[in-house]
Structure 1
Amino acid sequence: GRILMGVQNPDCDDAKRNLSTDFDPYDVRHSTVYLCLDNRHDYRGDYNMEPLITLYDIPDSYVAIHKCMNTSIEYDERIPTFGTHRPLWPRYGEYKYVPTQRWLHNAEHGAIIALYHPCANKDQVEQLKRIVKSCLYRHVITPSVLPSKDRPFALVAWGALLEFSVLQREVLEDFIREHALKGPEQTARDGQYDHLLLAPAEVVSTQDDAELCPKLQHRRRD
C-alpha cells in the first residue's frame, strides 16, 4: 500500500535521517542551492516580460506516490506542480531553503509555494514574502534555482504554476485566490520537517484559510 503521510518512520522518512538524498541542511557543500553564484544583473527582472501561467490537467484518479529517503526523486518538469514526494511535509512558513521533494507535498495539501531565485532582486523578494504571508497560512517560501533568468520568481499550487519577472500584487493575489486550496488532500495540519525554517507561518483569516488574500481591513490583528 501507499506509504502513510505524516508518520515518522526511521526506516522510511523521519525528517532526520538520510536527508542528503534531497538536501543536507548541515552540509556546507549543499548550501550552493540557496546562494547566488551567478551575476545578479542577469536576474534583475524585466517589466516587459509577461507573467506566465501553466496549468496541468491532473486526472481525478491520480494519486501521488510517497517515496522513502533511500530513493532519489527526479521530476520531468523544471518546476513540478504535482508528483512523487516525501511522506513528511515541511511546516508552513519561510525557509532558508527547503527541497522540492518536500514542498511538493504541501502543494498536494492546497498550499502555495513561493520560489525565488537566489540571485533575484532583494527588494522584490521581500515584497513577494509580504504578499504571500498576507494571503494565506498554508504557504512555503524558499529560494530555488528552478526559476529562470527571465522569470526569477514562481508561485506553485497543485497543478498550477505562475512564473513572473517582476512583482504585481494583483497577479499574485489572483493566482492564489484561483489555485490555492485545490490540492487533492485538503488538510491544514502543520508538517514535521522544519530544518532551516526561518519564520513559521501565521494564521491570516483562519487555520484552514477561509478567506484568501483578505482585504487589509479584514486582516487579523493580534
Structure 2
Amino acid sequence: MMLRRLLVSCFALVVLVEGGSNPANSSLPCDDGVHGIEIDFPSDDQDYYKCQSYSWLAARKMSSGRNVHYNETARPIHQCLSVPIVYENKPPTSGYHRKLWPAYGEYTYCPPQRWMHNLEHGAIVFLYHPCAPAYEVFLLREIAKSCLRRHIITPYLGLKEDEPLALVAWNYVRFMSWVNITESVLWIQAHALQTYEKMVYQNGKYTHWLTERAQVVNGSDIRDSLLCPEKLISLLHRNYTAVTDSYSDNAAVAHDDNDNTAVMQSDNNSTTISSMTVSNTTVSNTTVPNTTVPISKAMWGLGSIVFIVLCIIVAVLVARPKRVDKYKVRFSKFTSSMSDSHVPVTRLEVSAPESIGLLKREESDDTEED
C-alpha cells in the first residue's frame, strides 16, 4: 500500500511539473506550442511589436547599464496554457513557465512565459524595446550571435526609454541605456549556463514567429562550452565601436509645434550597410539609422550645388566676348617724301595679327632713331 501511494505521488508530481492534460479543456493538450498560445500574447498582430511612436535617441550616460539580482520568487514549475502566467518583475527572471521552450534564435516576438524555460536551461535572453535606437539593437544582436548559441532575441515592451535594452539570465538582469561590448561580454560569461538544468542544450519545439535560428558559435560547440570566443569579440571591437555623443547630436529630429512631440526620422531615413556578422564570418545586410543627414535633404543639397554650378557656367559663356578670327583694319602710312610730293595715301588692308606686328616694328624703329 505504501509503495502504491508513493508511485501515485510521483506520478502526480510529474504531471504537475511537466504538464499533463488541460484541466480547462481535456480535449486540448496542456501545451503543444500551436493551440491556445495566444493567451501569452498581448496582441496577435505582428505590427503591435514594432515601434508605434518615434524611435528613441540613445541615452548617453556615464554608465552603460546597471545589474539587478532577484531572489528566486517562484519555483520553475510548468503551467498548462489554460492557466495565465503573470510576472511581478519586468522583465521576469524566474518563476512559472510553459512546458515547451522556444528554439534558440531571433523572434518577431517571444513571450516571457516561453523564454523563461530557456533561462532555466542556462540561456541568455536579449531584450530590446521596439523604439530602441536601431544601431544599439544591431550591436546587441551581434553580441548574441558571437557569444553563445543558447540565446533568444526578442522585443519586449516592458523596457523604458532611458534603458531600452536588457540582458536576462536566471535571477539576473542587466538594464542598458547603450551597448558596451566589454561589459556585456563579461556579464554573459558570468551568468550564462549557471543553472542546474544547463545540461539541456537542445532546441525547443516552440517556433511561433521564429525569424532566424541560432547557429553554433565559431570556436565553440553546440553545448556552448566556450562563451564569447576571444577571436570573435576582438573582431567585434574592431568593426563596431560604442555609439558616440555625435550619434545623438547628428540624428535627424523633427519637432511638431502642435504637440511638441519629437519625431526621429530613423525609419524612413535609414540606410542599409553591408557588415560582417562575426558569429559565422559571413556578410549580412543590416539596417542602421542614418547618423548624418536624411537622404531627402542630401539629394536637395546635391541638386542645389549642381544648379549653381550650371548657372555659373552659363553666365561665363554669355558674358565672354565673341571671338573674331580675322578682322580688317585700315591705316595710312605717310612718309616725309610722300607728304612733300602730295602722293596719295597708301591704304593697306591687313589682318589683325599683321597690323599689330607692323605697329611694333615701327615703334622699334622710332626708338632706334632716337
**TM-score, normalised via structure 1 length:** 0.88
Q: For 2:123 and 2:213, how far apart are their aligned partners in 1?
A: 14
Q: For 2:53 and 2:169, how far apart are their aligned partners in 1?
A: 27
Say yes or no: does 1:173 pair with 2:191: no
* Correspondence for 2:134: 122
* One-letter amino acid of the counterpart of residue 166, structure 2: A
* Deviation of the 1:3 alpha carbon: 3.3
* Correspondence for 2:31: 13
Conserved 8 A contact 1:66-1:84: yes
* Structure 2 residue matching 1:46: 3-state secondary structure: coil
* Structure 2 residue matching 1:161: 3-state secondary structure: strand
The alpha-carbon distance between structure 1 residues 18 and 138, as it changes in their structure 2 partners (threshold 3 A), is same
- Give runs of aligned pairs for residues 51-70 of structure 1, distance below 5 A: 51-58=65-72, 63-70=75-82
* Correspondence for 1:210: 225
Aligned partner (choices 74, 86, 108) of residue 96 of structure 1: 108
| Larger radius of gyration between Structure 1 and Structure 2 | 2
Give ranges in structure 1 of 5+ residues lacking alignment.
none
The alpha-carbon distance between structure 1 residues 221 and 148, as it changes in their structure 2 partners (threshold 3 A), is closer
* Correspondence for 1:152: 164
* Deviation of the 1:111 alpha carbon: 0.2
* One-letter amino acid of the counterpart of residue 55, structure 1: H
Say yes or no: does 1:74 pair with 2:86: yes
* Deviation of the 1:46 alpha carbon: 2.0
* Deviation of the 1:148 alpha carbon: 1.3
Q: For 1:83 and 1:48, how far apart are their aligned partners in 2?
A: 33
Conserved 8 A contact 1:49-1:150: no
Q: For 1:10 and 1:136, how far apart are their aligned partners in 2?
A: 35
* One-letter amino acid of the counterpart of residue 84, structure 1: Y
Between 1:126-135 and 1:181-190, the stretch displaced more is: 181-190
The higher relative CO (CA closer than 8 Å, separation ≥ 6) is in 1
* Correspondence for 1:3: 17
* Structure 2 residue matching 1:173: 3-state secondary structure: helix
- Deviation per residue, 1:68-100 (Å, 9 max, x gap): 111110011121111110000000001111111
* Deviation of the 1:38 alpha carbon: 3.0
* Structure 1 residue matching 2:206: 3-state secondary structure: coil
* Structure 1 residue matching 2:159: 3-state secondary structure: coil
How many residue pairs get matched? 214
The percentage of counterpart residues that share the same residue type is: 38
* Deviation of the 1:182 alpha carbon: 1.1
- Deviation per residue, 1:167-194 (Å, 9 max, x gap): 1001110110000001231210110111
Q: For 1:53 and 1:86, how far apart are their aligned partners in 2?
A: 26
* Structure 2 residue matching 1:3: 3-state secondary structure: helix
Looking at secondary structure, tell me which structure has more strand per residue. Answer: 2
RMSD of aligned C-alpha atoms? 2.4
Say yes or no: does 1:47 pair with 2:61: yes
* Correspondence for 2:40: 22
- Deviation per residue, 1:29-78 (Å, 9 max, x gap): x641x11123323x53223354110012339xx73111111111001112
The alpha-carbon distance between structure 1 residues 65 and 147, as it changes in their structure 2 partners (threshold 3 A), is same
Conserved 8 A contact 1:98-1:196: yes
Between 1:122-131 and 1:212-221, the stretch displaced more is: 212-221
Looking at secondary structure, tell me which structure has more helix per residue. Answer: 2
Conserved 8 A contact 2:104-2:150: yes
* One-letter amino acid of the counterpart of residue 212, structure 2: A
Conserved 8 A contact 2:64-2:180: no
* Deviation of the 1:24 alpha carbon: 7.7
Aligned partner (choices 192, 210, 213) of residue 197 of structure 1: 210
